[in-house]
Structures are given as structure tokens and as C-alpha cells.
Chains A and B, each alone.
Chain A
Amino acid sequence: MPRWTRKFILRLRSLFRRRSVERELEAELQFHLERETQANLARGLDRDEAHYAARRAMGGVAQIREECRDVRGVNYFEDLGKDLRFALRMLAKHPGFTTTAVLSLALGIGANTAIFSVVDSVLLRPLAYREPERLFSVREIVPAFTALYPTLPANPRHMEEWRKQWTSMEQVAAIHTTSLGLTGAGEPAQVTAGLVSWNFFAVLGVPPQFGRGFVPGEDRPGHAGVVLLSDAAWRGRFHADPSITGRKIVLDGEPCVVAGVLPAWFRAPCVGFLRAAAPADEPELYKPLGLDLNEYSWYGDFNYGAVARLKRGVTQARALAELNVVQARITRLASGKQNFGATLEPLQEQIVGGARRGLLILFSAVAAVLLIVCVNVANLLLASAARRNRELSIRAALGATRRRLVRQALTESLLLAFLGGALGLLLANWGVHLLVGYAPVDLPRLDEIRLNATVLLFALLVSTIAGVAAGILPAMFLAPAGPGESLKAASRSATDDRHGIRLRGALIGAEVALSVVLLVAAGLLLGSLVSLLHVERGFDVNRILTMDVTLPEAKYRSGPRIDSFYRGALARIAALPGVTSAGIVSTLPLRGEAWIDGVRGDGESRASREIALANYRFVSPGYFRTMGIALRQGRTFEDRDRGRSAAVISARVAKRLWPGENPVGKRIHRDRNVYEVTGVADDIRGISLRDNPPLMVYLPYWERPRLKSSLVIRAALPPAAIATAVRREIWTVDSGVPVANVHTMQEVLDGSVAAQRFQTALIALFAIAALLLASIGIYGVVSEMVGRRTNEIGIRMALGATAFQIRWMVLRQGLAPVAAGLAMGLAGSLALGRAIHALLFGVKTTDPGIIGAVLLLLTLVAAAACYIPARRATRIEPIAALRYD
């Protein structure tokens, strides 16, 4: 029998056949005694003598038995049971201590678990693609645009070449997110749709939950009349109809057949945006792209998100090197005007990347709170261990080893942590509901956040770590070095337990430092939010109503038809009572970048890489007045400018093209189109509040009539009150036009900072929790100190110390570790500033106001926490104190 099997069987036997193992040990020792007695008899001792001599020689039978058990590993489990029972008794005996410890652990573990469950649902699980480590997002480097956009989504013609020549890639798929008008399923609606190459879901490794996926050839033009529904759309718009496959729906006027429904967990990777982290609406349905490659040039249309699945075993570096070779060939094919490059980013990074820093900070904050909880519990344990010093000494004197005592102490703290963890799970369950209730609506998969097996495992892990973290210090420091020493120490009334007090001071310092860092982080984020909301926007948000309309393509095939719809609708809306003015715009402010193209002044002959890139907006003349965008020079275009190719440029464009000159009357070029500048508008923060105002060119909407536009309406009444009337007017012009996203501009603004507001609120919440916990910790330690020194304080007062002197002494000693903690916290928050720099807006990381306020706040709270026990100390009756032991 091999050795390890033998060992294993023995282990099992000692564990499960404990009774018979014990009997055998008993018999073995008995046999030994008998033989020894016999030997002694043979040496001529009398019967009793022989027996006693044998016993003496043997020593303590109990000890031998104990050691044999130890060797067999039996004791491990027995001790665990004993320790647990003992720990339970101790906790039950000190309900105040137990309640405080369990509650604070529950808070810490609960908060961590709640945040983790959000992270798990929102960020970790959407990555459930097949072999995600082989999936990469491919973006292109186009020298002409690198000034503004270091990388761009892919050009479809380039992708076609990759398909042919890029050998380390197994497949590459494309996605383009757009918005389509859905009819034939209840009210006309505007839905976000993913236009994908046929192999998109195959590349990701996502089969539909039923029905079929797309097949080769379905992304050719004219064959694209099939659609895959997301689970959400299937449930929300089609009542989870199980026989949905084969049903016809109409998208932008074009009939499509439902081929299948995607699994509920599926979320599209965000790969198709100008900026990697651009927030995206999750597509409700997917349709094949249907591209005619001949319509695309080599140079434009960098609009398609590309996902590549690399071949097994190919490294990212090699794949990229090969891709760049292909890009060089494309450069030659495209007659070499641009040197195209490419980047590869693991899809996982791409998805998590944007949210990573924010989440990391959130996680760090909540982990810091847990750390403070652990410190508090460690402090409580230290105090209780100090009270139990005599008990520990007796146990040591009776033969408990140091290791055994440490284990006992750890069992206690772990028990506390698991009790706290169980309660924390309940709290987390409740907290998650709260989070879901208050989270910004654009947090994806909000409805699916819940506690699951992963989260339970996480809670267990965190509880264990918390238990060990809280228990290890007290256990190590207070398990007495030797029985004699500790009995000596215990016989004195502990006026000078310097070791314990100093350790607890250090813990308080750590707690304060962590609180400082958290409060500074919260302060900086709050400051950023405030300055973000008060930044000079350049447009109004009050009393402005917005909504999106999408004209069905089938009915609105020509520019003039679209134009007449908008003209009719705008005229009717503007005539409504309570409406001051109305306009349309191709993309609302704060909805990100759109329609970026070069803008050149007349006669300008810069190298292509130096051409200024501007955001183009197609607007109606009333847009400026409605949004409150001021004109600096000239006038807006008006209806009489139809056919004249007029444009309004933003002040930055004017400054860029014609610094110091009056641009009105000059001409700008977009590709081969020429527009005459009629006016200069103020710069606005059109992309997001955070981004500086972009170069902006406004063209009349009739220059390029668009099916999709946003309506903006300035109202004299509360905007919500006129929404119904506005919709009615639109449907009077055409009842088949879907109207979506009816919001006030204030709501659009709030929505654009919702994630930040939410994050800031959470961090502020954690910081306040940290502050409370720290003050409780300080209060606990100082009270404890006062309690222990009752005797001494009594003597001092009997000898004539004034109340002021006593209070000052307690305050000074209580605040000394706080001061150290403040200093450490200050250093920590300077380091933190660098970490969260990118999240800040309009505040410096070293903002003296915020940091000063935090330090002051903490000092005040700490002083208050010290003052209560300090006052109690002076109320001590000297006589009572002297009798106190």
C-alpha cells in the first residue's frame, strides 16, 4: 500500500472511528503498564511497589494520550468544537461587545457584498462569451485624425482585407449601432439596433436561446431582411411570445423576419464608438449589416466596431504585427495617401476599461470601510482580551500553548465575523435593492443585480478575511509569553498596560488615516460634481422639452418629403399655446460626439493631417433661440437661406480658421461642399459637461434632411405639461412617426451626470460611515482608558488636580493617535489625489479648502468622542476611585 493511502486511511480512521482508536490507545498503554509491572515484580518489588513504579515511569497517562491524539490530528477537530462552544459562551456573556462587533462587521461585510454584487452583475458576467481571452477589439489608427482621435472604429473595406489577409485571426465581425423605427408591434417605437456582420454572434460564441442565428450571405445587401431579438425586447415588446420565430416585423419601413431570440444574459460589447468608453444603449435587436462595399471609400466611414477572434495560441503582439502588415498593404491599395495602423485591445479590457477606475475607487472605498470595521473590532477584542488577561494566564499556567491561545482568540473573532457576515448578507440583499432603486438608469442590467452563488462565496471570503484581520493582532499581542510573567502582570491592576494601549493608539491612528482619505475622496468628487453642474455650458436647460422622432424610411424616401414634415411639425408646435419657440437638431447637446468631419477655410491648403475636425449639427433656424445659444456675430440662417448653403460656426471654429478676423461672409469647406458663414455662435459644452467645448459647425437641416432628429421646445409653461400637446401635433402631421425619449433638457443634463452623482453619493456614504466608525473607535478606546485609570485619576484629584487638568490629560492622550492619523491621512490623500485625478473636474487634488475642511471635521469629531469620557473622568469621586479596583 503506498504511503499516502496508508496515511489517508489512518487519518479517516482517527476521525471517524474515534471511539475504537481511543480504545486501542487505552489498551496499548494498559499493556505497557502491565509489562512494566511484571518486570518490576521480576526484579523483586512487591505488588503495590511494582505497580506504582510502573506508573511513575510512565508519567502522566492523560498527557501521553493527549499527545497521541495531537499527533493523529484528532485534537484539531475536538479543539475546534471546544473553542467554538467557548467562544459562543464568551460572546453570549458580553452582549454589548458582541452586538457592537457583529453589527459593525455586518455593515462592513454587507456594504462590500452589495457593491460586489453590482460589480459582478454589471461588469463580470457580461463577459460570458466563449473563450473571451481570444477576443479582441480592433481599432484603426488614421494619421489624419490622430490629433482628435488616437484610434477609430474600423472602415468596412479595410475589414474586408483583414478577412482575406490577416492570418492569425480566425474570424472578424462588425457591429454598427443605430436606431430604427419599429412598427408592427404595438405603438410605433424607436429602438436601438445593432447592425452586424452575419458572423457576429458566431465570433462571440453566443448561440440564440431559440430560433437560429444569422447565416453566411445574410449580410449581403438585399438579403438582410432577418432580425434577432434581445431577450429584453422579446419579453418587453412581444410578451415573450414563444412562437415569435418566423413572425414579420417592420423596421424603418422594411419587413423583416424574426429568426431567433438571444439569451437573456447577452450584452453587446461596446466596440463601435469614437471613444472606447462612450456610453451605449444596449441594442434591442440585431439585423445583418447589408453593406455594399463599393459604396465605401478607403478613407472615411470609420464607423464599424470590429471584434476579432484570434486563432488559438496566437499572441496579441504577433497578431498586431501581422495586422499592421495588412494595414500597410491597404495603404498601398489606397494609393498611399494615409499610413493606416491598428490597435488590438482585449475585449475584456474594452468592456471593463471605462468603468474600471470608478469601480476601483468605489471598491477601495468600501474596502477601506471594512478595514476600519476590522480595526474597530480588533480594538474591542483587545479591550476584552485585556479584561480577560487573568483567564488567559490561568489557561497558560494550566498548559495551554501560545498557539492554542491564539487559536482560541481567532476562533472568537472568526465566529464574530461569520455572524456579522450572515447579518451582512441580509443587509446586502436590502442594500442591493436600494442601490438598484437609486442607481442611474443607464447602469446596464440593473434588473438582474441580485445575490447569487458567486456573491455568497465572496461574502464568505470577506468574512473570513475580516475575522482573521480583526483577530490576529489581539491574539498575537495578548497571548501571554509565559505563564509566570502574565500572572505577575495580571495581579497588578492594569494602570500601565502600555503595550495594549499603544497598540490601540496605533489602530486608532490607522482608522483616522483611512477616514481622512475617504473623506477627502468624497470631498473632491463632490466638489467636482458641483463644479460640473455649475460649469459655463453655453446653452439653457430650463423650460426646454426634448424628444426624438424617427421618420419611417419607407414613407420618407426623399429630402423634400422629410423637410416638409419637419417644417409642418415645427410650425404647428411653435403655434401651440405655452410654446415660446421650437427647433430640431441632429444630436442633442450632452449626447456625445457625432458627425465629425474636417472643416477648412476658403483657400486653405493645409496638409490633410492638420485639417481641423468639427462636430457637425444639422439644425433648424429656431434651434439657437430655443436652446439659448447666443450668437456673437452675424445671424443664424433662416428660411430665406434655402439654396444658399449657409452655416453658423462656433467661436472656436472662427478662432481656429480666421484668428482675429470677422468670419461672417467667409466660406468654409466640408469635403467638396462649400458653405457661407452667416454667423458665429457661442461655444457650448456640446459633447458632455466634462469635455471642453468642441469645434462646432451648424448647418441648416435641409442641407441633409435626416430621418432621425431631436426636437427641442422652449416652453413658458412647465415643459412636462406640454409634452402631450406636442406629441399630438406631430401625429397630426403624420400618425406613423414614433416619438421617443421625451425628457426635459434638465433631465438630459441630470442623466449625463447621473453615474457620477451616484458614485459620489456612494463614496460620500462610505466616508460618513468611516467617520462614524472612527469616532466610535476613538470613544471606545478613550472610555476604556479612563475606566482603567479610574484609580489613578482619583489619586490625582485627591492630590489636587483640577477638572480642567484631568480633562486636558485625557483629551491630549486620546487625541495624540488622532493627530498621527491625521498626518498619515493627509499623506494618503495626496497619493489618492493622483489616483483619482482623472475623475475630478474643476477641483485640484490638493484643494486646500476640501482637505482643510476634512481635517477640521475629523478633529472636531475626534475631540467630541474624547470629550465625553474626559468629562466622565472628572466626575469621579476621589474616594470611590481609590476604592476602585
Chain B
Amino acid sequence: MSKPTDLVQGTLDLLILKTIALEPMHGWAVAQRIQQTSGDVLQVQQGSLYPALHRLEQQGWIQAEWGESDNNRRAKYYSLTRAGRKQLGEELAQWQRLSTAIGMVLKTV
């Protein structure tokens, strides 16, 4: 199994941050939400989802809490910390810049 490249990893972080910005969510739901909202284009590799979640938690962008899930099972819910919200803003801006830039290049060529 090849590892996700840096770009994908960085993007995954952004997607996770953005997704749980709406409400606290457990890992499975994060994967589902990303898949759904991208219209099934983005399949989150589960092999990279949990390491990414743990890394973001370790970096202090998100925090985890155990709670009841909709089917009455205990699940680990992730939510944004205040630092994470700031980080999301920065990463969004970064992404916008990058995609605009790429778009411009592609248009001129």
C-alpha cells in the first residue's frame, strides 16, 4: 500500500478540519461526509484517516471526546479547537491561493 503523498495528506487535513467545523463528528462520519459532499469523487483512505485525525489532535487543532452515537454506541467525537479554527482559516486561504494560481496557469496554457 503506497502512502498518500504530501499534497494529498495536506489536503486531507484541510478536508477534515472543514468537515468537523460544522459539528463534532466521529471518524466514520467524517469519511462519509467527505465522500458525500464531494459527490463520491473523494474516497478517504481509511488507512490515512485515523492517523490524520490523531495527528491533528496531537497538534492541538482538534480535540476528541467520547459520546453516544445515534445508535447508542460510544464513539469518539472530534471537534475543532479555537487554534484549529484559526488553522482552518489559514489553510483555506492557502488553498484558495493555490487553486487560483493553478487555475491561472492552466487558463494561460
Contacts and interface: CB of A to CB of B under 8 A. Distances in A.
A60 B28 contact: no
A73 B58 contact: yes
Given A6-B81, A7-B59, A59-B45, A68 B51 contact: yes
Given A28-B76, A58-B46, A7 B60 contact: yes
Contact of A31 (B47, B58, B69): B69
B27 interface: yes
B33 interface: no
Interface of B: 1, 26-29, 32, 45-47, 50-51, 54-55, 57-60, 63, 66, 69, 71, 73-76, 81, 83
B54 A72 contact: yes
Contacts of B51: 64, 67-68, 70-71
A689 B73 CA distance: 93
Interface centre among A10, A27, A32 (most CB of B within 10 A): A32
A724 interface: no
A3 interface: yes
Given A28-B76, A34-B73, A71 B54 contact: yes
Contacts of A67: 47, 50-51
Contacts of B75: 28, 31
A36 B81 contact: no
A385 B59 CA distance: 38
A3 B76 contact: no
A58 B47 contact: yes
Contacts of B59: 7
A3 to B, nearest CB: 4
B54 A68 contact: yes
Interface in A24-59: 24-25, 27-29, 31-32, 34-36, 38-39, 57-59
B47 A59 contact: yes
8 contacts: A7-B60, A10-B58, A34-B73, A35-B29, A63-B47, A67-B50, A67-B51, A68-B50
A77 interface: no
A25 B57 CA distance: 13
A70 B3 CA distance: 14
Interface centre among B26, B51, B69, B83 (most CB of A within 10 A): B51
A483 to B, nearest CB: 14
A59 B46 contact: yes
Contacts of B71: 38
A32 B46 contact: yes
B50 A29 contact: yes
B81 A3 contact: yes
Given A24-B76, A31-B26, A31-B28, A57 B46 contact: yes
Given A28-B27, A31-B69, A64-B47, A6 B63 contact: yes
A32 B81 CA distance: 23
Contacts of A34: 73
Contact of B1 (A7, A25, A31, A59): A59
A27 B81 contact: no
Contact of A71 (B1, B29, B55, B66): B55
Contacts of A58: 46-47
Interface of A: 3-4, 6-7, 10-11, 24-25, 27-29, 31-32, 34-36, 38-39, 57-60, 63-64, 67-68, 70-73
Contacts of B46: 32, 57-59, 64
A57 B59 CA distance: 27
B11 to A, nearest CB: 17
Nearest to A7: B60
Given A3-B81, A10-B57, A59-B1, 5 more contacts: A7-B58, A28-B27, A29-B50, A60-B47, A72-B58
A35 B73 CA distance: 10
Contacts of B73: 31, 34
Contacts of A70: 51
A71 B29 CA distance: 21
A70 B83 CA distance: 23
A64 B1 contact: no
- Interface residues of A, dominant DSSP: helix
Nearest to B87: A3
A36 B75 CA distance: 13
Contacts of B50: 25, 28-29, 32, 64, 67-68
A27 B74 contact: yes
A70 B55 CA distance: 9
Q: Please name the 3 residue pairs, one residue from A and one from B, whose CB atoms are nearest each other, closest first.
A: A3-B60, A67-B51, A59-B47
A67 B50 CA distance: 9
B62 to A, nearest CB: 10
Given A6-B60, A63-B1, A36 B28 contact: yes
A13 B2 CA distance: 30
A4 B83 CA distance: 10
Nearest to A66: B51
Nearest to A34: B73
Contacts of A59: 1, 45-47
Contact of A32 (B27, B45, B54): B27
A653 B24 CA distance: 100
Contacts of A63: 1, 47
A349 to B, nearest CB: 49
Nearest to A14: B58
A443 to B, nearest CB: 56
A526 to B, nearest CB: 61
Nearest to A8: B60
A39 B35 CA distance: 14
A503 to B, nearest CB: 31
Contacts of A57: 46
A72 B47 CA distance: 16
A24 B54 CA distance: 12
Contacts of A60: 1, 47
A60 B75 CA distance: 21
B76 A27 contact: yes
Contacts of B29: 35
Contacts of B69: 31, 35
Contacts of B74: 27, 31
B66 to A, nearest CB: 8
Contacts of A38: 71
Interface centre among B27, B47, B55, B66 (most CB of A within 10 A): B47
Nearest to B82: A3
Interface centre among B29, B54, B57 (most CB of A within 10 A): B54
A72 B73 CA distance: 25
A288 to B, nearest CB: 66
Nearest to B76: A28
A32 B32 CA distance: 11
A24 B71 CA distance: 19
Contacts of A24: 66, 76
Contacts of A31: 26-28, 69, 73-76
A481 to B, nearest CB: 17
Nearest to A38: B71
A31 B32 CA distance: 14
A73 B58 CA distance: 9
B61 to A, nearest CB: 8
A104 to B, nearest CB: 41
A40 to B, nearest CB: 12
A151 B63 CA distance: 71
B78 to A, nearest CB: 10
Nearest to A36: B28
A36 B55 CA distance: 23
Nearest to B56: A71
A39 B33 CA distance: 13
Nearest to A31: B75
Contacts of B83: 3
Contact of A35 (B1, B28, B66): B28
A802 B26 CA distance: 77
A28 B53 CA distance: 11
